[in-house]
Structure 1
Amino acid sequence: KARRGRPPKHRRWVVEAAHSWFNRFRKLLVRFEKLHDSYLALVHLAAAIIAFRKAAPIYG
């Protein structure tokens, strides 16, 4: 049972796993981009690459 203000442990694990996937992208880990739009585009690109890598073994 979660206390007020604290997420359940299973949800926390999912968030920590997602953070570790994004941390594998160096340009996101150390923010070199000065413009917010450029950084956001890199985040979207990283999310697409992560989704592709997760789906590729399933669909061959």
Structure 2
Amino acid sequence: MEAWHQTRDRPTRCRPRLRKVRWVVERAFAWLHQFKRLRTRYERRADLHQGMLELACGIICLRRLLKALDVQQ
């Protein structure tokens, strides 16, 4: 079963598996959007921006792990 996805130019077919992957990516971007420093790129150097991105991903993972541990206890 294929669903239709409306783009700016024309409707295209969207496979359900692609929709699942797209949802995961959009959710990850929403989590990263919580970090104000990443919303507006203040760093001029790409390596500093990459470091902030990795730090934000680490914080997100830590929060999810702590939340999972609290549920189990």
Which of the five TM-score ranges fits, normalised by the shorter chain?
0.7 to 0.9
| Other structure's SS at 2:56 match | helix
Q: Structure 1 stretches of 5 or more lacking a match?
A: none
Count residues with an aligned counterpart.
Answer: 58
1:10 is aligned with what amino acid? K
Q: TM-score, length-normalised on structure 2? A: 0.70
1:37 maps to 47
2:39 is aligned with what amino acid? L
2:38 maps to 28
Q: Greater helix percent: which structure?
A: 1
Q: Structure 2 stretches of 5 or more lacking a match?
A: 4-12
Q: Greater strand percent: which structure?
A: 2
RMSD: 1.8
Q: Which has the higher contact order (CA 8 A, sep 6+)?
A: 1
Displacement of 1:14: 0.5
2:47 is aligned with what amino acid? D
Bigger Rg over Cα? 2
Displacement of 1:52: 0.5
Percentage identity across paired residues of the two chains: 33
Q: TM-score, length-normalised on structure 1? A: 0.84
